[in-house]
């Protein structure tokens, strides 16, 4: 398997859909690595694995541990580290944290949420040789409500300008989250770097979803999510059978016992 690089990601712009997904564990990373281009070690881990109500309480240390696990079992995919809330409040804070992340996890890039407000931060990090993926539209770390963005002209202009700013700052790609289809299409045509959509239509250069969502492990499913299986039911069935076997003294079986 040939390692995915920024160069190969950029080449896919308007040419071939980019396949992205989140991963937080070695076991999932090992599987994802066979089929995807980019793995995002997302701060969504706080909600999916730790039961947090938002991503805001996810610590840098927690993210680092998950990223180390993912990166250690990834050979092909380009691994992006999602910088947690308030870990990039200034260019110097961002650089010190990103430098630590890159050194410990060996991830290929970091991701920051925001547009023009973080323009100078992105420029500084790129200048310091730290690859950056942007994120515009709905911003989970700072949004007060989780509603579709870009329904009015003001929002459309704001988000488009944010995407342009991130692109001109040197980011190699940008995630567009939960925006109307027409806006996603316009942004994708307006900027030279690949756009990765999550709830932003097929007009983006690639797509990303949270792995727990597509596997049917989550409790809440936005409209843009497709569940490809229902692991929750499969896991429950397995645990129920195990519990019954133990209670009836059917487990361990003869083959499970050392002689």
Q: What is the pLDDT of residues 28-68, one digit of tens each?
A: 999 999 999 999 999 999 999 999 999 999 999 999 999 99
Report pLDDT for 146: 86
Sorting pLDDT into bands at 50, 70 and 90, what band is 223? very high
State in words which class domain 6-228 has.
Answer: alpha beta
pTM: 0.97
Give pLDDT tens digits for 164-187: 999 999 999 999 999 999 999 999
205 pLDDT higher than 90: yes
Cβ pair 27, 231 in contact under 8 A: no
Buried b (16+ CB within 10 A) or exposed e, 76-111: ebbbbbbbbbebbeebeebbebbeebbeebebbbbb
pLDDT in tens, 63-111: 999 999 999 999 999 999 999 999 999 999 999 999 999 999 999 999 9
- Say what the pLDDT of residue 145 is: 86
By C-alpha distance, which of 163, 192, 161 is closest to 177? 163
* 177 flagged as catalytic: yes
Main-chain dihedrals φ then ψ at residue 130, nearest 5 degrees: -110, 110
Q: Is the pLDDT of residue 251 over 90?
A: yes
What gap in Å lies between CA 257 and CA 259, rounded to an integer?
6
Per-domain residue ranges of the chain: 6-228, 231-259
Whether the pLDDT of residue 112 is over 90: the answer is yes
H or E segment and range at residue 195: strand 195-198
Q: What is the pLDDT of residue 149?
A: 97
Report in angstroms the alpha-carbon separations of 179 from 14, 85, 200: 20, 21, 5
pLDDT band at residue 1 using 50, 70 and 90 as cut-offs: confident
Element housing 124 (H / E) = helix 119-127
Q: What is the mean pLDDT of the chain?
A: 97
142-146 average pLDDT score? 89
SS (H, E, C) 51-65: CCCCCCCCCHHHHHH
Confidence label for 144 from pLDDT (cuts 50, 70 and 90)? confident
Provide the percentage of residues in the chain whose pLDDT is more than 90: 97
Q: What is the pLDDT of residue 77?
A: 98
Q: What is the pLDDT of residue 115?
A: 96
pLDDT of residue 220: 87
- Residue closest to 100 by CA, chosen among 64, 51, 56, 154: 64
Catalytic residue chosen out of the listed positions 153, 158, 177, 236:
177
Q: For the stretch 18-40, what's the b/e string if a residue is b when 16 or more beta carbons lie within 10 angstroms of its beta carbon?
A: bbbbbbbeeebbeebbeebbbbb
Residue 119 has pLDDT above 90, yes or no: yes
């Amino acid at each position: 398997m040939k390692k995915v690089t920024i160069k190969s990601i950029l080449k896919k712009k308007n040419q071939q859909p980019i396949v992205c997904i989140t991963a937080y564990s070695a076991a999932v990373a090992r599987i994802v690595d066979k089929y995807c281009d980019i793995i995002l070690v997302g701060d969504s881990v706080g909600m999916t694995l730790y039961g947090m109500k938002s991503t805001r309480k996810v610590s840098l240390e927690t993210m680092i541990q998950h990223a180390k696990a993912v990166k250690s079992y990834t050979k092909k995919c380009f691994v992006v580290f999602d910088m947690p809330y308030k870990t990039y409040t200034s260019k110097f804070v961002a650089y010190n944290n990103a430098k630590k992340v890159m050194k410990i996890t060996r991830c290929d890039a970091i991701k920051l949420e925001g547009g023009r407000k973080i323009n100078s931060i992105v420029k500084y990090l790129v200048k310091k040789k730290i690859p950056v993926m942007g994120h515009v539209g709905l911003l989970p770390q700072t949004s007060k409500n989780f509603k579709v963005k870009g329904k009015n002209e003001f929002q459309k202009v704001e988000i488009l300008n944010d995407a342009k700013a991130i692109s001109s700052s040197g980011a190699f790609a940008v995630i567009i989250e939960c925006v109307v289809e027409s806006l996603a299409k316009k942004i994708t045509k307006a900027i030279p770097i690949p756009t990765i959509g999550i709830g932003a239509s097929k007009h983006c250069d690639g797509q990303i979803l949270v792995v727990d969502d597509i596997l049917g492990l989550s409790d809440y499913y936005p409209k843009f999510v497709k569940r490809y299986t229902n692991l929750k039911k499969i896991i429950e069935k397995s645990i129920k059978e195990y519990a019954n076997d133990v209670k009836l003294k059917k487990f361990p079986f003869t083959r499970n016992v050392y002689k």
